[in-house]
Amino acid sequence: MAHGLNPAQADAVATVAGPLLVLAGAGTGKTRVVTFRIAELIRRKIRRSRILGVTFTNKAAAEMQERIGKLIEKKKDDKPEISTFHSLCVRILRRNAKKLGYPEQFAIYDAGDQESLARQSLREIRVPGEVLSPGDLMSKISRWKNAGLTCDDANQLASSDKDHLAAMAYKRYQKTIKSVGAMDFDDLLLLTEELFENHPDARRAEAGRFDHLLVDEYQDTNHTQYAIVKALAEGHRNLCVVGDDDQSIYGWRGADVRHILNFRKDWPEAKVVRLEENYRSTEAILEIANRVIHYNADRYDKTLRAARLGGERPRIEQFEDEEIEAEQTVGDIRQRLTEPGRELRDFAILFRTNEQTRAFEGALRKHKVPYVLIGGMSFFDRKEVKDILAYLRLIDGHCDDVSLLRIVNRPPRGISQGTVEALQTAAVKEGHTLWQTLEDGPRVATIVPNAAPAVAKFVELIRRYQKRIANGSLAPSVRALLSEIDYEQELKRLYPEEADQASRWGIVEEMINALAAYEEQAHGKGKLNKFLDEVLLGERDTKDEKDEQLKRNAVVLMTLHSAKGLEFPIVYMVGMEEGILPHHRAAADENPQGLAEERRLCYVGITRAQDRLTFSLSLSRRKWGKPRPTIPSRFLFEVMGQADKAPAAAGLNAKPIERPRGKSGRR
C-alpha cells in the first residue's frame, strides 16, 4: 500500500474499481490521492496507456504528470494519459472530424481569433461598438454555447434589443467559423459531445481506449464536460472524480457545482470518501478561511480540521497606492528571504486580474528579485509570434480566414483594404473561403489592376513554402520565409525605437528556436499541425517553460484562478479592494451567485498559504491612467469577523480599516 496516507486517503486509493467520489476540502491531499491511485492501478497491472487523467488547466496536467513520474518508474511509450479536457477533445475530433462535416485540418480559434471574428460579425450586421462590443458579444456567445443554446434558441430567449443583436451576430459568427472549417474553444467540447451523441460507433471507439478515468477538480465541470465524462466512463464505470464545492470558481464558464453533488444519482454504486483533514495550512490560516467561506449561504457544510496547530496570524497591510503596495510587498519578500532556509520559490503573489501584475513586475525587476509570471500575456500571444503563426497556419492548409486576413498585407505588399474587401465579397458570393478566392485570382472579383499581380505573388509565396515545409525542416524554412518577406525591416518600420526593434526581433528568434526545439523532439509527418495544436491549446507554454520555471527558483506571480491546486509557504493576496475582489463585474450583477463565487475565489487564495498569509490593499489605484480612491474589500471585514462594518455595503468611500486590536502585524 502507498505510504504516507491517512486511512481515508488510503481508502480512496485502495478502491480502484467502480465509481468513486472524493469530496475533499482544500489542502487535504486531493491531487495526492489521484496520483497515488494511478500508481496503485499500475501496481495492479493495469496498462498505463489505458488510464486517462483529466484536469482543467495545462499547469495542473503538467503538475500531475510530474508527481506521477516521481511515483512510478518511467516506461517509454506506455504512460498514463494526462490531459486537459480541451486537449483530449482535440485529439478525439482530429480522428473524427469528417463525421461532423469538418475538415481534418480544422483550425482552432483562440481568444484573439474569436475577437476578430466577433468584430467582423458585428460589422457585417452593422452594429456599432457602443451598442455591443466584441468582448461583450464573445462572452455572450460563450455563455450561450456553454448552455447548449443554438443561435435560434438564443434569439428566442433574448429579452432585450442587445440580446437580439447578439443572437444575430452569434448566427453570423457560427456560420463563418463553420464555413472556414474552424472551431473555437467551446466548439471543441460541444462538438465532442455531439459526436458521442450522434455517432455511437465513435463513442464506443473513443471510450474503449481507456479502462480507467480520473477527473480532478470535478466541481468545475460544465454541462458539456459532464456529458463527455459520462460518455467515456459508462462502459467500464471505473470513474474517479475529486473535488470541493467550495472551490468552484468557473461558474462564468458554465461550471455547475451540482454535477459533483449529484454524482451518486448517475453512479448509484459509487463509493464516497471524504477528506477533511487539512495538512497544508496552519490553524490560524485555516480559521480565517473557514470564517470567510461561511458567509456563503448555499454550500455543503463541512468542517476542515487543521493538522498544523497554531501558526502566525494573517496580516492586513494598507498602502497609499499600487506602486507603494508593490514596493513594500517586494521589500517584505526581500527581508524574509534573509531568514535561514527561505527560498524564492516559497513566495507567491496572488491577484484577481492580470492587469495588477504591472506594478509588481516593476518592483521585482527594480530590486532584481527573480520572478515568474504564470499566465498573463504569454509568449504565443505576442504580436510577432501571432504573425508567424498566422503564416504557418496558412501554410499548413488551414482554410482560416482570420489568419489570412492578419498577414495578407503584412508586411505591405500592395494588397489594400479595398482589394481584400472585394475578394471577401466575391468569396461570400461564390460560397468559397477567402483563400480559395485568392487562389482563383482576380477573375471573380473586381480589383484594381495593380493588386492582381500582388495577390498572385502572395499565393505563389504561400504555395512555395507549403511545398518546402512538406519536404524539408521547419525552422530553416521559416527563417527563409521571414527573410524573403523582410520581416525584420517591417519591424523597423513599425517601431522607431531601436530597443523596441531589438526586443521584438528577439521574440522572432525565440519563436524560430521553439520551432527547432519542437522539431527535434517530434518526428513523423503532420508535425506542423501538431505544433500548432499545442500552441493553440496553451500546452507549448507549459511544456517548454515548465522545466525551466521549476528549476528557476523564483517568486511566483499569478491570478487566483491559476493558483488553484497549488500551495506556497508564504502568500500575498494583493489588491483586496471592492471592484477587484470581489470584481465589480461579478458582484454588481443582479445575481447573488456572482458574489458567492468571488468569495470562493478569496477562499481559494487563502487556502494556498501554508505558513504565512498577508492581505494588502491600496487606498488609491490608477484606472486608465487616473488615480481613484478605493474601498477595502468586504472580504477583509469578513476575515476579521466584522462583516457588518464593511463600508462596501453602505457604499462609503476609501477609509482605512480600523484594526480590531493592537497595531498592524508584528515583525
Partner DNA sequence: CAAAGCCGTTTTTTT
Partner DNA sequence: AACGGCTTTG
Question: What residues act catalytically?
Answer: 30-31, 216-217, 247, 608
Binding residue for DNA, selected from 36, 144, 173, 185, defined by CB under 7 A: 185
Instruction: Give the CA-trace dihedral at 401, 405, 407, 411, to 10 degrees.
Output: 160
| Residue 413 near DNA by CB under 7 A | yes
The C-alpha atoms of residue 125 and residue 169 are separated, in whole angstroms, by 7
CB of 2 closer than 8 Å to CB of 30: no
The cell 448509484 sits on which residue? 268
**From start to end of 374-425, where are the E strands?**
none
Residue 184 DSSP SS3: strand
| Residue 383 near DNA by CB under 7 A | yes
CB of 604 closer than 8 Å to CB of 563: yes
Stretch that binds DNA, among 79-87, 266-274, 289-297, 635-643 (CB under 7 A): 79-87
Binding residue for DNA, selected from 50, 119, 236, 527, defined by CB under 7 A: 119
Stretch that binds DNA, among 19-27, 128-136, 334-342, 568-576 (CB under 7 A): 128-136
Those residues with Cβ within 8 angstroms of residue 448's Cβ, 6 or more apart along the chain or in another chain: 416, 418, 419
| Residue 604 near DNA by CB under 7 A | no
Stretch that binds DNA, among 30-38, 69-77, 448-456, 525-533 (CB under 7 A): 448-456
| Residue 493 near DNA by CB under 7 A | yes
| Residue 126 near DNA by CB under 7 A | no
Nearest to 31 by CA among 14, 9, 47, 6: 9
Nearer residue to DNA within complex by CB, 393 or 612: 393
Minimum CB distance to DNA, residue 500 (Å): 9
Binding residue for DNA, selected from 15, 105, 416, 436, defined by CB under 7 A: 416
Q: Please give the size of the binding site for DNA, defined by CB under 7 A.
A: 57
Binding residue for DNA, selected from 15, 409, 501, 620, defined by CB under 7 A: 409
| Residue 56 near DNA by CB under 7 A | yes
| Residue 586 near DNA by CB under 7 A | yes
| Residue 553 near DNA by CB under 7 A | no
The C-alpha atoms of residue 152 and residue 238 are separated, in whole angstroms, by 38
Where is 278: in which H helix or E strand?
strand 277-282
Those residues with Cβ within 8 angstroms of residue 286's Cβ, 6 or more apart along the chain or in another chain: 27, 278, 304, 306, 607
**Please, what is the end-to-end C-alpha distance for the chain in angstroms?**
44
| Residue 222 near DNA by CB under 7 A | no
Minimum CB distance to DNA, residue 402 (Å): 11
Question: Distance of CA 322 to CAs 265, 333, 336, 426, 665, Å?
Answer: 49, 16, 21, 52, 20
Minimum CB distance to DNA, residue 495 (Å): 10
Cα 573 to chain centroid, rounded = 20
Minimum CB distance to DNA, residue 436 (Å): 20
The C-alpha atoms of residue 573 and residue 290 are separated, in whole angstroms, by 17
Those residues with Cβ within 8 angstroms of residue 183's Cβ, 6 or more apart along the chain or in another chain: 93, 102, 106, 107, 108, 109, 177, 191
Residue 135 dihedral angles phi and psi, to the nearest 5°: -60, -45
| Residue 198 near DNA by CB under 7 A | no
The C-alpha atoms of residue 242 and residue 30 are separated, in whole angstroms, by 7
Nearer residue to DNA within complex by CB, 224 or 238: 224
Stretch that binds DNA, among 46-54, 261-269, 298-306, 557-565 (CB under 7 A): 557-565
User: Does a cis peptide bond (omega within 30 degrees of 0) precede residue 19?
Assistant: no
Nearer residue to DNA within complex by CB, 454 or 475: 454
Binding residue for DNA, selected from 450, 513, 553, 593, defined by CB under 7 A: 450
The C-alpha atoms of residue 233 and residue 537 are separated, in whole angstroms, by 24
Nearer residue to DNA within complex by CB, 192 or 477: 192
The C-alpha atoms of residue 432 and residue 44 are separated, in whole angstroms, by 55
Nearer residue to DNA within complex by CB, 36 or 531: 531
| Residue 323 near DNA by CB under 7 A | no
Binding residue for DNA, selected from 415, 434, 475, 482, defined by CB under 7 A: 415
| Residue 252 near DNA by CB under 7 A | yes
Binding residue for DNA, selected from 84, 219, 221, 607, defined by CB under 7 A: 84
| Residue 464 near DNA by CB under 7 A | no
Stretch that binds DNA, among 203-211, 313-321, 447-455, 643-651 (CB under 7 A): 447-455
HSE value, Cβ hemisphere, 13 Å, CA-based, for 263: 28
What residues form DSSP beta bridges with 271? 20
Residue 276 dihedral angles phi and psi, to the nearest 5°: -125, 0
| Residue 336 near DNA by CB under 7 A | no
Minimum CB distance to DNA, residue 483 (Å): 19
Q: CB neighbours (10 Å) of residue 25?
A: 26
Minimum CB distance to DNA, residue 631 (Å): 17
Q: For the residues of 567-596, what is the DSSP string, one character each? A: -EEEEEE---BTBBTTBHHHHSSS-HHHHH
Stretch that binds DNA, among 257-265, 361-369, 445-453, 520-528 (CB under 7 A): 445-453
| Biggest CA pair distance of the chain | 82
Nearer residue to DNA within complex by CB, 11 or 136: 136
CB of 140 closer than 8 Å to CB of 171: no
**Degrees, nearest 5: CA angle 187-191-192:** 120
| Residue 627 near DNA by CB under 7 A | no
**Degrees, nearest 5: CA angle 229-50-526:** 90
Nearer residue to DNA within complex by CB, 80 or 538: 538
CB of 45 closer than 8 Å to CB of 585: no
Binding residue for DNA, selected from 253, 382, 464, 546, defined by CB under 7 A: 253
Binding pattern to DNA, positions 341-380, x when CB under 7 A?
A: -----------xxxx-------------------x-----
Minimum CB distance to DNA, residue 85 (Å): 7
| Residue 447 near DNA by CB under 7 A | yes
Nearer residue to DNA within complex by CB, 184 or 332: 184
Nearer residue to DNA within complex by CB, 331 or 412: 412
Stretch that binds DNA, among 130-138, 159-167, 632-640, 655-663 (CB under 7 A): 130-138
Binding residue for DNA, selected from 30, 59, 140, 280, defined by CB under 7 A: 59
CB of 604 closer than 8 Å to CB of 644: no
| Residue 148 near DNA by CB under 7 A | no
**Residues of the shown chain interacting with DNA in the complex, contacts defined by CB under 7 A:** 56-59, 84-87, 110-111, 116, 119, 123, 129-130, 133-136, 139, 185-186, 249, 252-253, 352-355, 375, 383, 409, 412-419, 447-448, 450-451, 454, 493, 537-538, 559, 561-562, 583, 585-586, 594, 624-625
